[in-house]
Amino acid sequence: MNILITGGAGFVGQRLAMECLQRGNLQLDGKPSPPITKILLADNAEPPFWHDGLREHPLVTSSFGDISDEAYVKSLFAEEIHAVFHLASIVSGHGETDFDLAMRVNLDGTRYLFEATRAQQNNARVVFTSSVAAFGGDAMPDTVSDYSKQTPMTTYGMTKVIGELLVNDYSRKGFFDGRSARLPTVIVRPGKPNLAASSFVSGLFREPLNGEPCVIPVDPSQLMPVLGYRSIINGIIKLAELPAADLGTDRGVGLPAFNATVQELMDALKNVAGNRHLGEHILKKDDTIAKICAGWPQQADTARGIELGLPIEDSIEDIVANYIEDYLEGAST
C-alpha cells in the first residue's frame, strides 16, 4: 500500500506518517490492508525539523513543490497511490491577508489533487482535512454540529467548505472513496507559531512550559473547540478506515472536541505543571485575531464523530501531559 500525505512535512503530517509506519497497515472496512510499502510526504519546503528517524526511514520519501502547480501534483502519482491524506493548506490568518494564494493552494491545489487521484481509477481512500472554521455567520447557532449550515466568515473556511463538497461529489460519482475530517483547534503543537489565527492556543501551553511568556490576543472567556494531537492523528486514520456505508452521503465528520474557554485552557496548564516554572500569560488583545476567533464556532456538538468511534482524550490535562511526555521529557515518537 502506497500513501500520499500532502502537508506531510508539517507537525500533523509527520506524526500521521509515524503512526501509519508504527501500525504497518490500515484496517480498511474492518480488514487489514496490504502492508504499507511507501509513504510520500509532499510539502512546499523542508520543515524546520524532522521527527526522530522519519526522514531516513526506508519507506518514507519526501517531495517539495507547489501544490497549485498541476504538473507537480501529477508527478506525485508516478506510482499508484492507494490512500491520500490531504493536509496541505494556507491557514486562516494567512488566507485573510493573501486571498489569491489561499485560492490557488486551497482550491486549485485541492482540485488538481482530486483529479490526479481520480485518474488512477482505483477508488483510492481519501481523507481531506477540513475545519470548524467551515461554520460562521450571523445565523450560526451557539453550538454547531455536522448538520449545521456552513456559512464561513474567513477565506480559509470558505475553501474548506468547497473541499468538503468536492469530497462528497467525487465519492458519489465513484471517483474515489473520500471523507472530510472537520478538525477543531489542534493542541499542543511544538515548535514556533504558524500563521493560523488559533496559533496562540498551542502557544499558551508551549511557551510557558519553556519558561517563556505568551501573549493571549483574545478575551479569556473566548470559547474554542480543541482536541489533542494524538486523538487528531488517530481520528484521521480511523475516519479513513471506516466503511463508506457508515458515513452515508455526507462524508464530512467533526472530530470529537472539548469546548473550553481560553481561561480553562490556561488553568489546565497550571493543573498539570506541578513544580515547573511557567512563563506568564500576557493578556493583550489583537482585534484582528479576536474577530476571526469570535466568528468561529464557540462550541461543537461532535456526537456523530463519537458514535463513529473517533477518539478523544479524557481531559485537557491529559493533552498537556501527553505533550510534556512527547516533547519535553522524552523523544518525539
pTM: 0.94
State how beta strands 60-64 and 38-43 pair: parallel
Q: Is 132 in the same domain as 83? A: yes
pLDDT on residue 333: 43
User: What band does 119 get if pLDDT is binned at 50, 70 and 90?
Assistant: very high
Please compute the mean of the pLDDT values over residues 214-242 and round it to a whole number.
Answer: 96
pLDDT of residue 92 exceeding 90, the answer is no
Q: Is 173 in the same domain as 207? A: no
Range of 196's domain? 187-223+258-299+313-329
Q: Which of 98, 103, 154, 149 is nearest to 295 (CA)?
A: 154
Enclosing H/E stretch for 143:
strand 143-144
The answer to whether residue 9 is domain-embedded is yes
Q: Is 192 in the same domain as 244? A: no
Q: Is 137 in the same domain as 198? A: no
pLDDT on residue 330: 61
* pLDDT tens string 248-296: 999 999 999 999 999 999 999 999 998 899 999 999 999 988 988 888 8
The answer to whether residue 304 is domain-embedded is no
Q: Is 126 in the same domain as 206? A: no
**Alpha helices (H) along the chain:** 11-23, 70-75, 92-97, 99-102, 110-120, 155-172, 199-209, 229-241, 244-247, 262-273, 287-294, 303-307, 316-323
Q: Is 38 in the same domain as 110? A: yes
Enclosing H/E stretch for 252:
strand 252-254
The answer to whether residue 235 is domain-embedded is yes
> Residue 10 belongs to a domain with what CATH number?
3.40.50.720
The answer to whether residue 218 is domain-embedded is yes
Q: Is 66 in the same domain as 156? A: yes
The answer to whether residue 322 is domain-embedded is yes
Alpha-carbon distances of 161 from 69, 107, 153, rounded to whole Å? 22, 10, 11
For residue 256, the 8-state DSSP code is P
Catalytic residues: 156
* pLDDT tens string 180-192: 999 999 999 998 8
Q: Which residue has the cell 468561529?
A: 296
The answer to whether residue 307 is domain-embedded is no
For residue 294, the 8-state DSSP code is H
The answer to whether residue 323 is domain-embedded is yes
> Residue 218 belongs to a domain with what CATH number?
3.90.25.10
pLDDT on residue 332: 44
Q: Is 22 in the same domain as 152? A: yes
Reduce the DSSP state of residue 109 to 3 states and report it. helix
* pLDDT tens string 309-333: 999 999 999 999 999 999 998 644 4
The answer to whether 101 and 107 have CB atoms below 8 angstroms apart is no
Which of 14-28, 48-62, 258-272 is predicted with the least confidence, judged by mean pLDDT?
48-62
Q: Is 174 in the same domain as 263? A: no
Domain count, the chain: 2
Q: Is 212 in the same domain as 235? A: no
Spatial distance between the Cα atoms of 49 and 11, rounded to a whole number of angstroms? 9
Q: Is 176 in the same domain as 202? A: no
Q: Is 207 in the same domain as 128? A: no
* pLDDT tens string 143-184: 999 999 999 999 999 999 999 999 999 999 999 999 999 999
Spatial distance between the Cα atoms of 178 and 226, rounded to a whole number of angstroms? 24
The answer to whether residue 99 is domain-embedded is yes
